[in-house]
Copies of this chain bind each other. A is one copy, B any other.
Amino acid sequence: MRSGSHFAQTASSNPLVNSPCEKCNVAEMSLCHALSCDDLRKLSSISTGVEVGKGVTIINEMDSADFLFNVTGGSIKLYKLLPDGRRQMTGFLFPGDFLGIAMNDCYAYSAEALEDCKLCRFPRARLEELLKEIPDLENRLLNMVSNELVLAQDQMLLLGRKTAIEKVSSFLLSLSKRTKSKTGAGNVISLPMGRSDIGDYLGLTTETVSRTLTNLKKKGIVSIPTNGRLEINDIEELTDLAEGMD
């Protein structure tokens, strides 16, 4: 196995672990946030714990959208493709994030595990029944989707109007902000995705991402002790760069 993973190869066929919602490690920041014990039990009854190995495709754009997922461990890349193979990342997911938004019953993007991942899987039909029963759950989902929409609009501004250095700086800052909101510290961030993934997220090439990062390194704004990890040394400067204030 290329990735060396010991996890299952497909998300839908091998639910290896059944982790009840009651024990969920990301409950306070995900779909399950602020549900009553009773509601949590209902949700738990339709969920299945799933583990997938690094590199595994979890969902495929245009496949029938039979499941929704909550990420409980690892990280995931989301992307769309053009017929000739050009690729646009639409997002990276981390524990607490939600996966599986669809249109016309088909997934709107593909998703692939960047690392070994743990997911909580819900059959769409049964989750939708539950939404009718539990208004709090529907409200929670609405809030999550609304937030995602706002972030998507930020990304449009980035893709349409920012320069390479502004794009890379913005990207690092958004990862930092996420990390901070979870662990308290946002100086050291994890980069589980490759340079070409970052490029496809920012509308740049691998080479430009690399050049821009070495640029930031030379200025002392960031350090990259190892690929996969990055330290922000001057967050004010990075913030200015992200918005073109320099």
- A residues with a Cβ closer than 8 A to B are 80, 82-84, 86-88, 90, 101-103, 108-109, 131-132, 135, 138-139, 141-142, 145-150, 152-157, 159-162, 200-203, 243-245
Contacts and interface: CB of A to CB of B under 8 A. Distances in A.
A11 to B, nearest CB: 20
A200 B160 contact: yes
Nearest to A107: B150
Contacts of A245: 83-84
5 contacts: A82-B162, A90-B156, A131-B142, A132-B135, A132-B139
Contacts of A103: 146-147, 150
A145 B147 contact: no
A165 B180 CA distance: 41
Given A131-B139, A132-B139, A149 B88 contact: no
Contacts of A157: 80, 82, 88, 90
A237 to B, nearest CB: 15
Copies of this chain in its oligomeric complex: 2
A77 to B, nearest CB: 13
A161 B87 contact: yes
A96 to B, nearest CB: 17
Contacts of A142: 131, 138, 141-142, 145
Contact of A244 (B83, B139, B201): B83
Contacts of A80: 153-154, 156-157
Point out which of A109, A131, A157, A159 has the most chain B C-beta atoms below 10 A from its C-beta.
A157
A-B pairs, 4 with minimum CB distance: A160-B203, A159-B159, A152-B152, A88-B157
Given A160-B200, A160-B202, A150 B87 contact: no
A156 B156 CA distance: 6
Given A101-B149, A152-B156, A156-B159, 9 more contacts: A80-B153, A80-B157, A103-B146, A108-B153, A138-B142, A152-B153, A156-B156, A160-B201, A160-B202
